[in-house]
Amino acid sequence: MAGEVLLRVTVRRNLPCALILGLAAAHLPAATLERLSLDDMIAQSTSVVHGRVTGSYAALRGSIIYTHYAVQVLEQWKGSNPGTVDVVVPGGTANNLRQTFVGTPQFTAGDECVLFLWTGPSGLTQIMGLTQGIFRLSANSPSGRTATRTASTELMLDRGTSRSVKDQTLVMDLSDLRSRVTGGSPKGGTQ
C-alpha cells in the first residue's frame, strides 16, 4: 500500500514535466533544409555520377552511425571517382545500436540514380541536401529515360529570405539532366 501511494505521488509530480516535454518534442521540426536549385547542386557538388547501388553496410564513426552505400559509377558527369564510390548517409544499425535521422535517403541494391555528391574534409562522400541530390531513374520508355527528384517533405527554407518554402518534384529527361550538369544546352525540366 505504501509503495502504491509513493508511485502515485511520483507519477503526479512528474506527469506535468513529461507532458510538456512530449508536446514540445512533437512540434520540433525533424530536419531543416536549405532549398537548393539544380544550378546550386551542380555548382556545389564535388562530383555528379549516374550510378547503380551494389551493396551497403553500416559502421560507427565517432558517435554517429553511417550507412555506406557502394555505388557503381556508370557515368561520371562531374569530378573524378573510381569505378565505385562510397556514399554515406547518417543512420543505420551497427554494434547492436540503431540511429535514425529524419529525411535521410535509403537505397536498395540495384537502385539506379543520378547522385549529386560532396566530399568534405572528413573524407566522407555525402549526398547534397539529403534527398535533394538524388534523381531516381525510370525504366526505359519510348521517349528515353526520365530522372525524377521527389519533393522533400522536410522543412525547407529559401536561402535569400530564410522563409519556409514548399519543395516541388523535379522531372527531366536523363539526357537533359546530363547536358545541364556537363555544360551542354538542356531542353529544360519541370519544377
Per residue in 78-97, pLDDT (tens digit) is 998 779 999 999 999 999 99
Query: Is 102 in the same domain as 136?
Result: yes
**pTM of the full predicted structure?**
0.77
**Which pLDDT score is estimated for 17?**
39
190 located within any domain: no
Residue 16 predicted with pLDDT over 60 = no
Give dist(CA 51, CA 68) in Å, integer: 15
> What is the C-alpha to C-alpha distance for residues 20 and 143, in angstroms, rounded to an integer?
55
On whether both 13 and 76 belong to a single domain, the answer is no
The reply to whether 55 falls in a domain is: yes
Average pLDDT over residues 143-158: 87
The C-alpha cell of 190 is what?
519541370
Instruction: Tell me, yes or no, whether 5 and 75 share the same domain.
Output: no
Residues 5 and 55 in one domain: no
Domain membership of residue 147 as a residue range:
32-182
Partners of 155 in beta bridges:
32
